[in-house]
A and B are shown apart, each in its own frame.
Chain A
Amino acid sequence: AQSVTQLGSHVSVSEGALVLLRCNYSSSVPPYLFWYVQYPNQGLQLLLKYTSAATLVKGINGFEAEFKKSETSFHLTKPSAHMSDAAEYFCAVSGGSYIPTFGRGTSLIVHP
């Protein structure tokens, strides 16, 4: 079995500030972890994924995430927020024979 918890349905930051979106997972097998982004009125697209190689994963648009097994976390960060980062972000976990399970999403709001 597997599950994902995204802490905070909404996160608000100022332009240029650090972005931190939290994701904790539960999995009975070694997990694979994903972050997807959804811009308004669009489908989801992959930001980055962890597939048991390096624990620090770099993605598109300056985002990165670190897999921490001891904390069962895969938080998403970006050093400096841009207005274009405003979107819905989804964390997902898979593993074993399990198709990815998605979290409930975090809406990132960027203020000028």
Chain B
Amino acid sequence: NAGVTQTPKFRVLKTGQSMTLLCAQDMNHEYMYWYRQDPGMGLRLIHYSVGEGTTAKGEVPDGYNVSRLKKQNFLLGLESAAPSQTSVYFCASSYADPVTDTQYFGPGTRLTVL
């Protein structure tokens, strides 16, 4: 049981390049989330999904797109990377109601945009 995994662990991009971060969970969770973590800012929600085929915007969605084609996977895309998107990105999942349920986090992806 791997829990929540994220690919890749590290990535360096040049401004304007695109990339996709992959999150996978093997716990059959309905809900999945993408956060970014910046020093002194805590975790901020980018996008989330309440089930296969659904996505919704979080607190800081601009510059990102997401897709949830399969229940176990949640992809985060950057179409044209900017230095302001340099951050650590965490994926999380929860079984049911995100208001009360525990979130399970992946190990993170450290992204640097030059």
Contact = CB atoms under 8 A, between A and B. Distances in A.
B43 to A, nearest CB: 4
Interface residues of A, number: 24
Interface size class of B (residues with CB under 8 A): 20 to 34
A94 B98 contact: yes
Contacts of A36: 103, 105
Contact of A42 (B42, B45, B102, B107): B107
B43 A90 contact: yes
A99 B108 contact: no
B107 A100 contact: no
Interface of B: 4, 33, 35, 40-45, 48, 58, 90, 92, 98-100, 102-108
Interface of A: 9, 32, 34, 36, 41-46, 49, 51, 90, 94-100, 102-105
The 10 closest A-B pairs by CB, nearest first: A43-B105, A104-B42, A102-B43, A44-B105, A94-B99, A102-B42, A99-B98, A46-B102, A43-B107, A105-B42
